């Protein structure tokens, strides 16, 4: 007998919003580094937040009865 995984996957809205904000701030930091000759360390927080939010983007839910 085989067992079926009946859990559902869903996208976590809060982590999706965090990821979008991190990507937008990364783009903004990249433009600051490129055109305003700022220090490249300005982009580090955006990269860290994006890296931390991606693994938690998809959540598994237990089936409801």
What is the structure's pLDDT at 8? Answer: 83
In the prediction, which pLDDT does 10 show?
87
pLDDT, tens digit, 9 for 90 and up, residues 3-60: 666 778 888 899 999 999 999 999 999 999 999 989 999 999 999 999 998 888 888 8
Using 50, 70 and 90 to split pLDDT, how confident is the model at 62?
confident
Both tokens of 56, joined, read 């938690």
Can you give the residue ranges of every domain in the chain?
A: 10-58
Q: How far is CA 45 from CA 5, 6, 16, 53, 60, in A?
A: 37, 37, 17, 12, 28
Gap between the Cα atoms of 38 and 52, Å rounded = 25
Q: What is the pLDDT of residue 57?
A: 87
Mapping DSSP to helix (H, G, I), strand (E, B) and coil, where does residue 54 land?
coil
The predicted pLDDT at position 63 comes to 75
């Amino acid at each position: 007998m085989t067992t079926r995984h009946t859990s559902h996957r869903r996208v976590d809205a809060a982590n999706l919003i965090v990821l979008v904000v991190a990507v937008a701030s990364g783009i903004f930091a990249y433009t600051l580094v490129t055109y305003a000759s700022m220090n490249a360390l300005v982009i580090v927080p955006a990269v860290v937040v994006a890296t931390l939010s991606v693994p938690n983007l998809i959540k598994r839910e237990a089936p409801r009865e």
